[in-house]
Amino acid sequence: MAGAKETPRQRMIAMMYLVLTALLAINVSKEVIDAFLVVNESIVLTNEKFSQRLQSTYGTFEKMYQLNQHEVKPYWDKAREAKSLSGKMIEFISNLRYELISVTEKISIDSAKTIEIRNLKSKDNYSLTTAYLMGDSHDGSQGKSRYLKEKIIEHRQKMIELINPKDRNDLKLGLITDSTYFNADGQRQNWEAHHFYNTILAADITILNKIITEVYDAEFEIVNKLMDEINAEDFSYDKIDAKVLPDNNYIFVGDEYKAEVIVAAYDTSQSPEIYLMRDVDSLPISELSKAELISSIDGKSDIRLPARKTGINKYAGVIGVKTSSGETNYYHFSNQYVVAEPSVTISVAEMNVLYIGVENTVSISVSGISKENLHPVISKGTITAGLSSDKWTVTVPPDERYTVITISAIINGIKKEMGSQNFRIKRLPDPIATIANIKEGFINREILLAAGAIVPKMPSDFSFDLTFEIKSFKLTIQKGFNIYQYISNNGLLTEEMIAQIEITNRGQNLLFDNIVAVGPFNDERSLSPIILTIK
């Protein structure tokens, strides 16, 4: 495989790699680093263009699939598998690049994902990069470079297996890891050492991006080979089917239903006659005079139906195709779509109330719209996506009384406001001060001493998992005509309090008051007293 004739793209990639290798062989001056930056920017731009070109290729492939799903499906499934494999490999290399930047720059992964390569402080560092990629070994067996090499080999093999065995010898995939490599002194090296031993950060980033280019190139090669296999089969079409390709079958009042009608395996040099009728399941040939005639170009036409009526809307039609003998063959089609009023649901556990100092869970859903296409904003506070399909997390500021959540949705590429809801902002309810899980009444002296502290508990109907802390409280004991008071600067009974409780008599009253609790935002609360009587 390594000796096969290279494509122009692969020759370009090889040329860029030779430039990188030559740059690594000289002293790392500012000019050399700048050269790496230029090469890297060129590679990144190439990757962006590769991605766009692949999307166009997949678009063409999908049209072939729509024309003849039965015959094309096995190849279309393999093309989608190639896209998935390539996406996972690119994600792996990108994450490896972010980790390398994080280790070398000593920054977080999130920061590594956003920082520009020109702004890196350690562009010329090679010790940390070598330690990360090569480990304590000269051959990379203890570093990330070996894992990368194994992933490349595995990815390459999986891509090859997508192609018919008889056509695999013609593949030019790149991603070669078993060539013969030499260092500057002419000594042999393996793939890992040749690429990543004593290479600076700027070079490593450029090399990783160059490998991404090879992944894109391999994906492009595989997808085009699959398309060639379809053409090589020379499929014959024994029938013609009318196809309706709607943009969306679920739309809202005021929007427009749009669909593309095509004729599968039809000669695009002709323009067939297309008849359409609404609110019917089928259109008989005898009723064509009552139907709407739609113009067509290159064998297809756009259907545009205004969304005026909610519910299921049906339509049917006929496509008339002239044969070489001049006769007209008719092919029927039908479809339906749903028109709905915009419906947005925003709900919280406590109706229309958001609490200060906690992460409020809010359920947001719009009928027919996925979470990825919803864009909620809040007038005061923050809102972020949660883990569940319809859950969002909302926090609100302590100095506001009201806020509004507004929901927009992306429908057919257009952002549209779906609705909003007002919420009250309330501070957290006061906790209830307890000792041994009671607030008032009789208590056994030993149980009181064993409890040893005042514990603030949130009301039973409060669903958030949070706690206050007791800052201070006062214990008052009356003995005869004398009143004794003791202060604690936390939630625990002091030694003096314990000593006095130990000598209390049956029927003795204890008053715990001036109880101060502290919650989120250092919010101090004065809690209701605890009144106990010794059994």
Domain final position from 340, 372, 388? 340
Q: How far apart are CA 170 and CA 182, in angstroms?
A: 28
Q: Is residue 3 part of a domain?
A: no
**202 and 315 co-located in one domain:** no
Task: Enter the pTM of the model.
Answer: 0.43
Q: Is residue 372 part of a domain?
A: yes
Contact 469, 507 (CB under 8 A): no
Burial 475-506 (b: 16+ CB within 10 A, else e): bbbeeeeeeeebebeebebeeebeebbeebee
| pLDDT for res 526 | 92
With residues binned 3-state (H G I as helix, E B as strand, rest as coil), the percentages for the chain, rounded to 5, are: 35, 30, 30
| pLDDT for res 473 | 95
| pLDDT for res 99 | 92
CATH of the domain at 526: 2.60.40
**108 and 185 co-located in one domain:** yes
275 φ, ψ to 5°? -115, 140
**96 and 186 co-located in one domain:** yes
Q: How far apart are CA 53 and CA 223, in angstroms?
A: 12
Contact 530, 433 (CB under 8 A): yes
Q: Is residue 170 part of a domain?
A: yes
| pLDDT for res 246 | 65
Q: Is residue 1 part of a domain?
A: no
**313 and 289 co-located in one domain:** yes
Q: Is residue 373 part of a domain?
A: yes
Which residue has tokens 């065995």? 165
CATH of the domain at 301: 2.60.40.10
Q: What dihedral angle (degrees, nearest 10) is formed by the CA atoms of 64, 67, 70, 75?
A: 0
**335 and 353 co-located in one domain:** no
Q: How far apart are CA 387 and CA 390, in angstroms?
A: 8
**388 and 444 co-located in one domain:** no
**27 and 139 co-located in one domain:** yes
**333 and 356 co-located in one domain:** no
Contact 209, 47 (CB under 8 A): yes
Beta strand residue intervals within 66-197, DSSP E:
181-182, 188-189
Q: Which of these, 514, 511, 525, 420, lies nearest to 473 by C-alpha position?
A: 514
Domain residues for the domain of 50 are 8-233
Q: Is residue 2 part of a domain?
A: no
Domain count for the chain: 4
Residue-level pLDDT, tens digit, the chain, 535 residues: 344 556 666 666 666 665 555 555 444 566 677 777 888 888 888 888 888 888 888 888 888 777 667 778 889 999 999 999 999 999 999 999 999 999 999 999 999 888 888 888 888 888 898 888 888 888 888 888 899 989 999 999 999 999 888 888 888 888 888 888 888 778 888 888 888 888 888 888 889 989 999 999 999 999 988 888 775 544 434 445 566 666 665 555 666 667 767 655 555 556 778 888 888 888 898 888 888 888 777 666 777 887 777 667 788 888 877 654 566 777 788 887 766 665 555 555 456 889 888 888 888 887 767 778 889 999 999 999 887 777 889 999 988 999 999 988 887 678 888 888 899 998 888 899 999 999 999 999 999 999 999 999 988 877 777 788 999 999 999 887 889 999 999 999 999 999 999 998 888 999 999 999 998 778 889 999 999 999 8
**443 and 528 co-located in one domain:** yes
Q: Is residue 250 part of a domain?
A: yes
The Cβ of residue 237 has, within 10 Å, a number of other Cβ atoms equal to: 12
Q: Is residue 165 part of a domain?
A: yes
3-state secondary structure of 138: coil
DSSP state of 291: S
**165 and 263 co-located in one domain:** no
Q: How far apart are CA 218 and CA 170, in angstroms?
A: 13
| pLDDT for res 289 | 86
**306 and 225 co-located in one domain:** no
**330 and 348 co-located in one domain:** no
Domain final position from 377, 393, 426? 426
Contact 464, 355 (CB under 8 A): yes
Domain final position from 233, 261, 279? 233
| pLDDT for res 459 | 86
